[in-house]
A and B are shown apart, each in its own frame.
Chain A
């Protein structure tokens, strides 16, 4: 009983995710799988970002750079070197992690708006660079030979495979996110978020701790980039380093509740469902972006803690269950 109470937050989180994942597997429909793929991808990206944004309080506007770079490195290994998806994903994760480590040493010194600006600059510089980088196909990018999918049971099978791999990665992100949230390392991050100078005086080695949070938040997006573009069959600079995608991740984290484990799941689910609804609605189809903008504004102005944060404030009984 006490174990259940202790891990209630994790159990609720995993439960919510399991329901999401199982839905396409039960129905077996491609369209359901595709919808859920988009949602899970958002959940995993938003939860990764949350480690930096929600726990540490650093606003990375260009977080998509890790998705893009990882995607490119992995895609290159698959298409030009004939490596397997697994090795390529590993390489994508590692390269994103290494980039985050190097960047962390440099730009995490910047605070507040300056850090946010620097991350935008990094993403744009990387996009422009890849655009000129011939081994990665320059502006036209790269495509996968269709025969590659044969190793994974054909194109149709490969789509299901991608789905299950994504589901597994999403579980890993959430468990990592939960472990960080409840660990000493995570407490150090929260202390930095609240007051970095005070945290340092209390002994938190902020430069180190921040860097590792950055690395942790970058690895899975790097792997997801490989998976996404493997499924996609081609990669180009614009979709790989789309700044707007970065900001969508932030919106999802905010919507659900930054700094909580469950928040990014609900936020990603809510955001993608809403987007799907707006895109197919005859009334809102043309102005879906504007409607989403109004909603974002309402959340920022009136519910800054997000859904989970708001519930935790209003209904203290739920605090243990919603983490």
Chain B
């Protein structure tokens, strides 16, 4: 198991944003994390990646208890993530953004080696022609790919993708899904992805985890989850849901 999450919960003052989430993630899988808005998906990412300290439970990454660790230590241990709302380092160039990922990520590279990695990763996410542009000047789709490139440059074992498809046009979605698939096959990276574009997440994921109001309501293969009654209820009780989900 690359990641074990046991009974993780997070409370903000009086609000229980997340409670009792438990799952194991074997190496090499893609886990889709779905659920309505406000279900606690990003909160779960924050608890896993060290941005928040969980109020309850335990997170184990590659056999090490990392509950409440700092985000920069998690990056060093080989966990990388993207942000739902993109956070480019605006006044730095695209290439410099990716170099930051390579320099301070798992492999802790020096600048010249990090530069080579950045060039390779930018090629991979098809941003190489934008290398010297300021990151702030990219459009949303390009910024999403920049987030991806920064995360990949860290050479992570586990990649947390937070809605990398949101706000993209159909052709960009196809490109991004392709990239996600290639990450697994070519780079041997385990992935958890939060996604609202259902047909894409159904298509890509090995397993799905469904959150609703901070609780884990279902887990299983895409087919199992799509036919799960609780899940259908959570998604406004749409009886045709399963069909829609599978066909997109």
A residues near B (Cβ < 8 Å) are 183-184, 187-188, 190-191, 193-195, 197-206, 259
Contacts and interface: CB of A to CB of B under 8 A. Distances in A.
Contact of A184 (B71, B75, B88, B110): B110
Given A200-B71, A202-B100, A183 B92 contact: no
Interface of B: 49, 51, 70-73, 75-76, 80-81, 83, 87-92, 96, 99-101, 103-106, 110-111, 114, 150, 154
A184 B87 contact: no
Nearest to B49: A201
A187 B96 contact: yes
Given A183-B111, A187-B99, A195 B87 contact: yes
Contacts of B49: 201
A195 B89 contact: yes
B104 A204 contact: yes
Contact of A205 (B72, B91, B101, B114): B72
Contacts of A203: 72, 75-76, 101, 103-106, 154
A103 B88 CA distance: 30
B70 A200 contact: yes
Among A198, A203, A204, A205, chain B packs the most CB atoms within 10 A around the CB of A203
A197 B72 contact: no
B70 A204 contact: no
A290 to B, nearest CB: 33
Given A187-B111, A204-B72, A197 B51 contact: yes
B41 to A, nearest CB: 16
A187 B103 contact: yes
Contacts of A194: 88-92
Contacts of A206: 72
Given A190-B92, A195-B87, A206-B72, A201 B51 contact: yes
Contacts of B105: 202-203
Contacts of B89: 190-191, 194-195, 198-199
Please name the 9 residue pairs, one residue from A and one from B, whose CB atoms are nearest each other, closest first: A203-B75, A203-B104, A194-B89, A198-B87, A200-B71, A205-B72, A191-B100, A201-B71, A200-B72
Contacts of B101: 202-203
